[in-house]
Amino acid sequence: MRTRSTVAGVLAAAAALAASEALAAVLDLRESPVLSVGQSVIALTPGPVAEAIIGVVGTNDKPLAVASVVVAILLLGALVGRWWLTRRLAACTVVAVLVALAAASVLTRPYASPQGVFAAVAGGVVLMGVLQLLLPPSHDHGATKDGQHAGREAGHDPSRRVFIRTAALVAAATVVVGAAGQALASRHRRREVVERARAALRIPARPVVVPAGADLQVPDQAPWLTPNRDFYRIDTSLQAPLIDPAEWTLRIHGLVDRELTLTYQDLLDRGLTDAWITICCVSNEVGGDLIGNTVWGGVPIKGILEEVGVQAGADALLSTSEDGWTCGTPLDALTDGRNALLALTMNGEPLPVPHGFPVRQVVPGLYGYVSATKWVTDWEVTRFADFEAYWTQRGWGERGPIKTESRIDVPRDGSSVGAGPVTVAGVAWAQHVGVQGVEFRVDGGPWKPATLGVAANADTWVQWTGEWDAEPGDHTIEARATDATGEPQTSKIAEVLPDGATGYPRSSVRVS
Ligand SMILES: Nc1nc2c(c(=O)[nH]1)N[C@H]1C(S)=C(S)[C@@H](COP(=O)(O)O)O[C@H]1N2
Ligand SMILES: [Mo]
């Protein structure tokens, strides 16, 4: 009976999930209850835990968040099933708490709606209904407190056959409803509208030309220009916000002389500036790939801030995305003349939805968490003393200047190469300062200068390459960059928390 009630509980929870998600799809909700709960879990995850998770699973953090919520609900379902016949009050309390938590998640999200609460409640009702179906409180079907009637062989237990048949039916219905819900959700009306609007945009075409000599064309090395589809994605959204550019506005307020609300067309009318900028995540470990380089097209932020008139005493721009993520950027970095942009295009095409469509910020020299707000809809000119942005609340540094770093791409860490001349290559960056040189060394020997690719400007990474005469055995290659002021990157190992990793990148290779 214990197995039976556990199975019934898990099945009931799965049916509840399928029903609630399908209902959310039928109602065309912006966000289903499961996603809302996932978002709450993300928001409540302490910074160091989030960091450890990103460190292990990288950009698979989103499926992991959803999977954890689903698994947790199935486990709670198992518990409810166990208690259904013997401790009904406790079982119902667990269901009620689950529904209440889901409803609270739905209601605290930017896309809160009464229908979302309805979908969560429906899930609870289905859960209990299925349990009632699978575990009838009967006297003659073996459902007594201590389980089976004595002397009955499991195989000949009629209630067992009934259970299996009903359970199979419930499982089949769950799969059908779940699949139908997913199919329906993928045809989300809003997604279609936004994708159509994105495809229909006629932004003056500007050819994307990689500056001559920037890409050294070393086999197996990451290309100098990161294609949009390979660009790393880091954000707190389980489902990228869907914003119709025709409805998008940026409201600018706070310590300004004149408030201003900009539309997408307003930005287009100003004309777009193109800039090659390498952006990087503070969670990028030494040697990591949470960094990418593209040409961004947008409107300089400096001019917009001049237009609204920043008042004395302000030192920060607090930007907020449509889904409520916040970011604090030093005003200095936005007004000192660097290419800080409100970007509309990435590699010549409208921003892909996961990268901030229709409008995001890009600021050379600052990690993404303090500068690169995607789906940005609100700007408040303010003071750092008066607020704490999303990641600062979770333990990250208030300011996030990018640290000078380098990476070895070839030969890859852990690879084997033949003895003789071996090409060593990688990238190095010191955004908005520039890279003057890169050196590499083997087994702690003397540093050897690498050849650098052409730098488009001080805001992008540079590729570097060199040659090493490899002798058989196990060897470790290290690299270090020196920025344009002559400052070499530090050898001191720092973790990514609180404000970015440092240390020499290493590649350990076996030479045969
Ligand atoms: N709205 C929103 N914008 C965001 C984030 C986010 O979580 N939400 N993450 C930031 C972080 S931490 C980084 S590193 C960059 C990543 O931009 P990308 O996903 O386009 O590479 O976006 C930034 N902008
Ligand atoms: Mo980031």
Question: pLDDT averaged over the chain?
Answer: 94
Q: Is the CB of 373 under 6 A from ligand 1?
A: yes
Residues 68, 72, 74, 78, CA torsion sign: positive
User: Domain 405-511: which CATH class?
Assistant: mainly beta
Q: So what's the architecture of 228-394 in CATH?
A: Alpha-Beta Complex (3.90)
pTM attached to this predicted model? 0.94
Contact 61, 233 (CB under 8 A): no
Mean pLDDT, residues 193-202: 95
Asked if the model's pLDDT at residue 150 lies above 80, the reply is no
Comparing 134-143, 208-217, 401-410, which segment has the lowest mean pLDDT? 134-143
| Mutation choice for ligand 1 from 42, 327, 374, CB with most ligand atoms inside 8 A | 374
For residue 241, give the ligand 1 atom closest to its CA: 1
pLDDT of res. 289: 95
Those residues with Cβ within 8 angstroms of residue 55's Cβ, 6 or more apart along the chain or in another chain: 283, 285, 496
pLDDT of res. 138: 66
Mean pLDDT, residues 35-57: 91
447 CA from centroid of ligand 2 (Å): 31
Those residues with Cβ within 8 angstroms of residue 339's Cβ, 6 or more apart along the chain or in another chain: 273, 275, 277, 300, 362, 364, 459
pLDDT of res. 58: 82
Give whole-number Cα distances, 135 to 13, 54, 161, 393, 503, in Å: 14, 41, 13, 47, 60
Let me know the angle formed at the C-alpha of 472 by 467 and 477, rounded to the nearest 5 degrees.
45
Per-residue confidence at 54, pLDDT binned at 50, 70, 90? confident
Which residue, judged by its Cα, is nearest atom 16 of ligand 1? 234
Phi, psi of 432 (to 5 degrees): 70, 0
Exposure b/e, 329-341, CB count within 10 A at least 16 = b = bbbebbbeebbbb
Report the C-alpha gap between 75 and 183 in whole angstroms. Answer: 26
pLDDT, one tens digit per residue, over 226-272 is 999 999 999 999 999 999 999 999 999 999 999 999 999 999 999 99
What proportion of the chain, given as a percentage, has pLDDT over 70? 96
Q: Is the CB of 325 under 6 A from ligand 1?
A: yes
38 CA from centroid of ligand 1 (Å): 18
Contact 182, 18 (CB under 8 A): no
pLDDT, one tens digit per residue, over 292-326 is 999 999 999 999 999 999 999 999 999 999 999 99
81 CA from centroid of ligand 2 (Å): 41
Report the C-alpha gap between 135 and 141 in whole angstroms. Answer: 10
pLDDT of res. 56: 87
Which residue, judged by its Cα, is nearest atom 13 of ligand 1? 368
Residue 456, strand partner residues: none
Ligand nearest to the CA of 280: 1
Extents of the domains making up the chain:
2-187, 228-394, 405-511
pLDDT, one tens digit per residue, over 432-451 is 999 999 999 999 999 999 99
189 CA from centroid of ligand 1 (Å): 25
Number of H helices, E strands in the chain: 12, 19
Mean pLDDT, residues 134-153: 56
Which residue, judged by its Cα, is nearest atom 6 of ligand 1? 235
